[in-house]
Amino acid sequence: MKVDGRHIRTIAPGADGWSVDIIDQTKLPHVFEIKNLRTLDQACHAIRDMLVRGAPLIGATAAYGLCLAVREAPGDEAIDAACKKLSATRPTAVNLNWALASMRAALRGVEPRRRAALAYRHAAELCDEDVAVNRAIGAAGAALIADAGRGRKGDAVNVLTHCNAGWLATVDWGTALSPVYAAHDTGVDVHVWVDETRPRNQGAALTAWELSRHGVPHTVIADNTGGHLMQRDRVDLCIVGTDRTAANGDVCNKIGTYLKALAARDNRVPFYVALPSSTLDAALADGGQAPIEERDAGEVTHVTGVDPGGEVRSVRVTPEQSAAANYAFDVTPARLVTGLITERGVVEAKRESLRAAFPEKYSAEKYAGQ
């Protein structure tokens, strides 16, 4: 997508051809800053501390992190150690291990001196594939938005989204927001309700920034507002992303997604999940076993924003004596999901339907979690 008229991706090789440029998302929406990663440790830090975030972008960063490691030490043991380090950075987004497995498969049996060049080539391919997949999700999801708007006179189609599953969460285009961009770009009148998404406010900070840059009408709402809007017929459909979807269609996504799905069901609002197949974990029988990241309580006790003087500050919002807990993800049962918007079209959130759409993911070995 474009920033100040320049097309950029969230991750790309640096000017020297080997280091890696990312957008430091911890600074958005106040400061747009590109950061250059040169070591495996810097890549790990970028994922762990959420300079990059969003399942597909975490996968892409892990792939390039491995390139940085292989460039330094291309032997088998060093690759094993680098994968272990990268894999431990964040637990929930399955794209992290998916990307590392794909990188390892590409490097297997290759002479160590040829591995670095091959690793960079494969990481670039994974990134291109992510963009193509997201565009296909955009086309499939835009049709749903256009359908919701058919026959309307003057009223925008209202889409509610949670967290950030836009281009910042991927290499480009986004997952849940790709349909919004595709619909908007083809002239559909679409408006987005943006959940702020406490505690890290990915909606308020990142989704709102993206949508405003692209000129998509949107309104930021407090996390508790969606149910009220649905009761008043002010939401036509919900589209969210996912960090890991189980074999049976249970969806693990940013904390608070489940509550929106419950409200949507109670109000007969369609609830869609944009699912790139890299996020489908066929080795996970259902969402009950999904690893749920628990992050530092400081993200709950404090909020960060910019003061009138333009200074970015963090302030405490809870009493010093109060304990706080920070569960980063929850699981929405498949029965609450109207459909999964994938690169192969809209698929029912059911094991048989997912298996029919993505048979390669359900091979015996993969299902056994190997």
Active site residues per annotation? 243
Phi-psi region of 5 (alpha: psi -120 to 50; beta: other; left: phi over 0): left
Site string for ligand MRU, 51-70 (x = CB under 6 A): --xxxx--------------
DSSP category for residue 42? H
Determine if 202 is a binding residue for ligand MRU (CB under 6 A).
yes
Which two three-digit tokens encode residue 225? 């507002």
Q: Which is nearer to ligand MRU, 142 or 171 (CB)?
A: 171
Reduced to 3 states (helix: H, G, I; strand: E, B; else coil), residue 369 is: coil
Distance CA 198, CA 255 (A): 8
Determine if 178 is a binding residue for ligand MRU (CB under 6 A).
no
The residue behind tokens 């790990």 is 44
From the list 130, 134, 18, the residue with the least C-alpha distance to 66 is: 18
Distance CA 275, CA 288 (A): 18
Q: Which is nearer to ligand MRU, 56 or 74 (CB)?
A: 56
Angle between helices 55-72 and 76-87 (to 10 degrees): 150
Candidate list 115, 122, 254, 260; residue touching ligand MRU; CB under 6 A: 254
Determine if 214 is a binding residue for ligand MRU (CB under 6 A).
no
Which two three-digit tokens encode residue 138? 């955009």
Determine if 226 is a binding residue for ligand MRU (CB under 6 A).
no
Candidate list 241, 256, 287, 333; residue touching ligand MRU; CB under 6 A: 241
Least distance to ligand MRU, CB of residue 50, Å:
6
Gap between the terminal Cα atoms of the chain: 36
Residues 325-364 that bind ligand MRU (CB under 6 A): 328
Binding window for ligand MRU (CB under 6 A); candidates: 139-147, 235-243, 297-305, 315-323: 235-243
Q: Which is nearer to ligand MRU, 171 or 346 (CB)?
A: 171
Q: Which residues bind ligand MRU (CB under 6 A)?
A: 53-56, 163-165, 169, 175-176, 202, 240-243, 253-254, 328
